[in-house]
Amino acid sequence: MSPARRLGWLLVALPVAASGCFDDPASAPDAALDAAVAPKDLPDLLDKPDAGAPDLPASPDAFDVSDVSDVSDVTTPDLPEVSADLGPRCATSAECSDGRLCGPDGRCAPCVPSDDRCPAAQHCDPSTLGCVPGCRSDEGCMATPRADGGAAPARCDVARHVCLDCDVDDDCPARSVCRMGQCMVGCNERRGCAPGEVCCTGSCVDVQADIANCGACERRCSVSNGVPACTAGVCGLEACTAGFADCNRSLADGCESDLQGDPARCGACDVSCPTPPGAGSIACGAGRCGFTCAAGMADCDGDSRNGCERTVSSDPGNCGRCGNACPARAGASVPRCTAGVCGYLCNAGRGDCDGDTDNGCEADVRTDLSHCGRCGAACSAPANATATCAAGRCGYACNAGYGDCDGDAANGCEVDLRTSIAHCGRCGGACMVSGGTPACIEGLCAIAACGGSFADCDGLSSNGCETDTRSSATHCGTCGRACPAAPQATATCVASACATRCSLSYGDCDGLAANGCETDTRNAVAHCGRCGAACVTPGGTPGCSAGACVVAGCERGRGNCDGLAANGCETDLATSPRHCGACGVVGAELCDGQDNSCDGLVDNGCPTAIGGLAGFDYTSPEYGTGTTTSTNASCAAGQVVRGIFGRVNGNFVTQLNVICGTPQISESRAVTPYRYPATVTGSTDVGTVGTAVGTAFRYVCPGDSVVTRIRGRASPYLYQFMLDCSTLSVTGNPGSLRITATPAATSPSWGSANGGTFDYPCPTNASGSASVLRGLYGRSRRILSSIYTMSVGARCSVPSITVR
């Protein structure tokens, strides 16, 4: 290598070597500083052989520059300062000698950065005003062969005064990139790899076989308990670690089976250790099956095929361990082994109560009072009883005349059955005496005494003191005293004294016992229904029938027209319009100038017509859109609307129809001013406004009321509808009669609270007569497959009512 070439590499390598591994130049080893080159060394370097020149790095990793994007990231170590002699003071460079220049401090110096005249491979250090190694222009970088084979001169990094071998990746040969001004082996997005290789994190790799980049960059193959492989870019299994196997043929869990310790795959994938009878657990060791006996079990024959065949916890022939047989005991039935300890078993109903093995099970625990049921369980006798042992259970038998009536063994046979009233002769045999006090004598019930007015008149203790001498008609006051009978009466005893009780419908109204119950209250006017209840009939003659007062007859000109006996003949047949001359006869005026109706008025009630229903007197505005087909529902002549029926679908009223009836006067009254209430008869469904879609509703005004007002919500559809009802009557004086409407009821609302509200009451005419609803009109519209009511209006008229 030429001296110029060596110098170029040296100037580049020194800064890299000094800063590649240290963030702080002050922490760099002294060796890096010792490697700095002073200007006096340059001639020697130019004459040294090529052996000292560095070769092209094999990889960018040699300089740890994976994160360096351009040469501006390279730092240059501090070089030894070259001090300038403090020259004489100057104002201009012309005042300096020996080729020196006038520096910024006003002294002559070897160089000035603003007018750098240092040799080509040096530059002026601004801190020392002396020439130091390092280029200041491309001319300072001697022409050297380029890495791409050319001979173009290298470029000078004037900021760091370093000669660079390359500028961009294209200045470097294939499979290398430009890093920190040097060509290094590597790749990037612009510098590709050889055929069959892929650039992964700056290195060319074969993704078909590289386990760290298998099929794609950084896709590392790994296998649990085995060695991975990469074949044709797909991860696989090279081999399993000794003692492991891939039994499920799944790469996901690698060599998942432990053939040395897994009982399910012991020694091989298809070998599963069996669980022999009596084994507590199975195991696999070094690839061979084994087992451990459960507690109380043992393998006494050494045959692994039948496992732990002996129950040493209870086997008398192998008690506690194999071969330990329990010996027979005198007096015992058979030997036994319990929890691995030998013993013997007594026959049923027997027990070894003295602990002597020579006499075996000597006690009969079924009947032995000292060992009843078990050894040492002695039976004791409670009060008034004798102890017993039967079937191994202690008991006791009551002594004669005593009983255990509470079932409590602690107090034994606590009851003396000979004298106990609650348990006379037997437990639960209680003595009871009605009306008296019981007694128990030698186990038999008896009467000790009768109480109060009760007596034992029949001499039988079984029914006690059966007779109450205060009320017994056969034993009144004392046993054997019978009360005598009376006519139409039954003998009774009251408070121990004889008395009589009248038969049905008879009464002792004179208070004499001798004649008994002398009065028949069914027909006695002075005692009708009961003694002292006398019948009185104003304006007539009283009578009594079936125990109730009646009107037997009325005085002339009077009548019992209401059928009530209490007010007698209450009606004056000469002045009652409803009972004119006779009960139930309504007088009618003949319009002849006479009072024909018994109301004291002449020709009153002669026919007077009010109002008329030939047409419609009033029509309301139309509520709704009113842009579609017209419809109406109106009552016939002489009729008015008394109700509404229709349908509601969701938020809309889809159909409205009217129910019609006929108003008329129900009665006449001689009152001034007149007030004749009107009734409504008939019920006729009329008209169709809308279509039968949705839920049906129907409303009829209560009683004799009719529709006088409509209300609701509309626009653009008919959303809600409701109505008000009123009763009608004719009021005023002859010649000035009028029809009045009195509010009676309000219907429910149908539909939803959407749209604007409307309210239309039927008006009153100039004569003061009220009008009523006679019909509805409106418009409907087809929406989809249904016809909806879009608008509605009212038609009102003053009804036609004739007063007679």
Q: Which of 107-116, 196-205, 617-626 has the lowest mean pLDDT?
A: 617-626
Alpha-carbon distance of 660 to 687, in angstroms, equals 10
Average pLDDT, rounded, for the chain: 79
Q: Is the peptide bond before 621 cis (omega within 30 degrees of 0)?
A: no
Question: Is the predicted pLDDT of residue 653 greater than 50, yes or no?
Answer: yes
- Residue 661: helix, strand or coil by DSSP? strand
User: How much of the chain exceeds pLDDT 90, in percent?
Assistant: 25
Q: Are 676 and 608 in contact (CB under 8 A)?
A: no
pLDDT at 735: 62
Give me the mean pLDDT over the 493-521 stretch. 88
User: Mind listing the pLDDT tens digit for each residue in 317-360?
Assistant: 899 999 998 877 755 777 888 888 887 778 888 888 988 766 77
Question: Is the predicted pLDDT of residue 99 greater than 70, yes or no?
Answer: yes
- Residue 681: helix, strand or coil by DSSP? strand
pLDDT at 24: 38
Question: Is the predicted pLDDT of residue 533 greater than 70, yes or no?
Answer: yes
Task: Give the DSSP H or E segment for 773.
Answer: strand 772-783
Largest distance between two CA atoms of the chain: 186
Token pair belonging to 410:
């602690």
C-alpha Rg value of the chain to the nearest Å: 68
Task: Give the DSSP H or E segment for 302.
Answer: none
Token pair belonging to 414:
């606590």
- Residue 545: helix, strand or coil by DSSP? strand
pLDDT at 60: 37
Question: Is the predicted pLDDT of residue 295 greater than 80, yes or no?
Answer: yes
Task: Give the DSSP H or E segment for 559.
Answer: strand 558-559
Question: Is the predicted pLDDT of residue 726 greater than 70, yes or no?
Answer: yes
Question: Is the predicted pLDDT of residue 66 greater than 60, yes or no?
Answer: no
Higher pLDDT, 706 or 668: 706
Give bridge partners of residue 548 from the DSSP assignment.
Answer: 545
When pLDDT is cut at 50, 70 and 90, the band that residue 42 belongs to is very low
Q: Are 798 and 628 in contact (CB under 8 A)?
A: no
When pLDDT is cut at 50, 70 and 90, the band that residue 8 belongs to is very low
Which sequence spans correspond to the domains of the chain? 3-190, 206-239, 608-803
User: Mind listing the pLDDT tens digit for each residue in 375-402?
Assistant: 999 999 999 999 999 999 999 999 999 9
Among candidate residues 224, 253, 257, the one with its CA nearest the CA of residue 243:
257
Question: Is the predicted pLDDT of residue 179 greater than 70, yes or no?
Answer: yes
User: Mind listing the pLDDT tens digit for each residue in 566-611?
Assistant: 898 998 888 888 888 888 887 666 555 566 677 767 656 554 444 4
Q: Are 803 and 675 in contact (CB under 8 A)?
A: no
pLDDT at 375: 93
Q: Are 178 and 188 in contact (CB under 8 A)?
A: no
pLDDT at 803: 56
Higher pLDDT, 734 or 67: 734
pLDDT at 675: 62
Alpha-carbon distance of 705 to 725, in angstroms, equals 6
pLDDT at 781: 74
User: Mind listing the pLDDT tens digit for each residue in 442-485?
Assistant: 988 888 888 888 998 988 888 889 899 998 988 999 998 988 88
Strands 695-700 and 444-450: unpaired
Q: Which of 126-130, 311-315, 353-357 has the lowest mean pLDDT?
A: 353-357
608-803 fold = Vitelline Membrane Outer Layer Protein I, subunit A (2.100.10)
When pLDDT is cut at 50, 70 and 90, the band that residue 670 belongs to is very low
User: Mind listing the pLDDT tens digit for each residue in 757-791?
Assistant: 999 999 998 888 888 998 888 887 766 666 677 78
Token pair belonging to 466:
């059966």
Q: Are 551 and 542 in contact (CB under 8 A)?
A: yes
